[in-house]
Amino acid sequence: MPMPTCGALLLAISMSFHLTTAVADQCSGGSNLFTELQENSPHGTFVANLTVFGEPESSSLRLGLTGADAGWFYLEGKTVRLSVSPGASLDREALESPVLMVALTCSEDGFSPVEYRIIVQVLNENDNKPRFLEDSVLTQNISELAAVHSVVFTTRAEDKDGDTLMYVIDSTSADGKYFRIDLPNSGKIVLAKALDFETKRHLEFMVHAVEMNTKERYNSSARIRVNVLDGDDQYPRFLPCNFLAHDGVSVCVSPVYTANVTEREVTVGPLHFVPGLVYAEDGDRELKAAITYAILAGTDHGRFHIDNVTGAITMLRPVESRSHTPAFSLSVMAAQVNDANKYVVTEVRVRVLAANAHPPRFSRPRYQAFVREEPGLAALVLTYSGRVLTLQAADADFPDGFNPKVRYSLTPQSNHTQLFQITPSGLLVARADQLRALQQYFLQQR
């Protein structure tokens, strides 16, 4: 074979150089790619074309994708497409970063590999509704002493799409009037109306979180329950209360306690009062603050002693004369041990009774009377002068002889007591329909 001339050799070398340069240009001259991709795009979605490179089918050219995010993409010739596993989706909110970055490596036999970056920003799609955080909608405990116009708690919702939320209290909620939201974006719940544990202990209302910057205006709702806690805002009250209405408020009117003592007699132990023991309790029934008692003033109040824990009142010395001191009037105070400024005062009356020196006596030892025969069931017993028989006993302990506490009855020893009854005022009533004419009946009264 003839040897090539020098010019031909130079030409061959030059051609070889240009071929090599042409092949090397398949990977060089490229640049990083920046593109966007919509969230939730399906598998196979177009991402980018690699137009500056040679054909990958060439035996000497190889393209590859590497990096932490390379699994989201695959190459179809010189086209980059989205790779999504079956049952999965490109969820922007689930990504560590909304920007995916992949290294594109172009390599060719005999040359150093060239590396570029493919940077894909995943665009947000409004595919999430707001969701209230559980700890912000659990049952809230608010003291009845909470100040009106103060923030009592904060409710929070999250939107994984990062949308701006507005909070609204449902005005149709029965207890929505107790609260309001001054700053719609804050979720801070403000007390709009004073709470009262004694009248309403549980509240319930709805609050809504609504997207403000989206066309969908997705929203979420939460039912919030509020327990009203008892605060120390009530004064003690003497029992039993007599409740009276005033301006829509039920007012406890303290009872007047009364007891009786007998002149010249020493009453042993606490006095017995009507309508019951001298007793007060904290108006805040859940708190049940301890109560202390004291006699503030009254008629000869040094004659009496009150137990500061139980409220029991005892008399220290007897009354010598009822005519000189017929009654005592005491002002008794009950106050909270933990707050002396919370107190209540009531009146205690002690009446002095005359000594019982004389028993009651009938005006005569024996009474005679008759009953007219009548068809009715009952008839009054009459005297022979035609007047109604009244059996009354006089008590010499009373100036007029009338003791209002005397009670009358027929003794069991009397015969035929089933045919007669005596009233508290001393009238004798007979069962006329069961009496026989001319029959005599003997009764014993006490």
pLDDT tens, residue by residue, 258-315? 999 998 888 889 999 999 999 999 998 888 999 999 999 988 888 999 999 999 999 9
- Cα–Cα distance for residue pair 111/24, rounded to 1 Å: 7
- Cα–Cα distance for residue pair 70/117, rounded to 1 Å: 11
Which residues, listed in sequence order, are joined to residue 421 by a DSSP beta bridge?
429
- Cα–Cα distance for residue pair 265/259, rounded to 1 Å: 14
- Cα–Cα distance for residue pair 198/241, rounded to 1 Å: 15
Please state the pTM of the whole predicted model: 0.55
- Cα–Cα distance for residue pair 184/373, rounded to 1 Å: 93
Question: What is the secondary structure of 163-180 as a DSSP string?
Answer: --EEEEE-TTSTTGGGEE
Query: CB within 8 A of 393, min separation 6: which ones?
Result: 360, 361, 362, 403, 406, 408, 426
**pLDDT of amino acid 308:** 96
- What are the C-alpha distances in Å from 390 to residues 364, 367, 382, 396, 433? 12, 10, 9, 19, 22
Work out whether the CA dihedral 332, 337, 340, 344 comes out positive or negative: negative
Average pLDDT of the chain, as a whole number? 84
In this prediction, residue 193 has a pLDDT band, given cuts at 50, 70 and 90, of: very high
**pLDDT of amino acid 428:** 79
Measured in whole angstroms, how far is the alpha carbon of residue 112 from the centre of its chain? 75
| Residue 15 in this model has a pLDDT that exceeds 60 | no
The candidate with the shortest Cα–Cα distance to 332, out of 388, 402, 279, is 279
For residue 240, whether the previous peptide bond is cis, meaning omega lies within 30 degrees of 0, is: yes
Q: What is the SS3 assignment for 47?
A: strand
- What are the C-alpha distances in Å from 305 to residues 181, 254, 299, 327, 351? 57, 21, 13, 16, 16
| Residue 431 in this model has a pLDDT that exceeds 80 | no
Enter the tokens of residue 41.
């795009």
**pLDDT of amino acid 256:** 95
Q: Which residue has the higher pLDDT, 397 or 202?
A: 202
- Cα–Cα distance for residue pair 49/75, rounded to 1 Å: 10
Give the residue carrying structure tokens 């824990």: 309
**pLDDT of amino acid 362:** 84
Query: CB within 8 A of 105, min separation 6: which ones?
Result: 62, 63, 64, 65, 66, 113, 114, 115
| Mean local confidence (pLDDT), 316-320 | 91
- Cα–Cα distance for residue pair 31/191, rounded to 1 Å: 61
Q: What is the SS3 assignment for 311?
A: coil
| Residue 56 in this model has a pLDDT that exceeds 70 | no
- What structural domains does the chain harbor? 22-123 (2.60.40.3430), 131-229 (2.60.40.60), 237-353 (2.60.40.60), 358-446 (2.60.40.60)
Read off the pLDDT of residues 347-397 as tens digits, 9 standing for 90 and up. 999 999 877 777 888 878 888 887 777 766 777 888 787 788 777 888 877
**pLDDT of amino acid 57:** 60
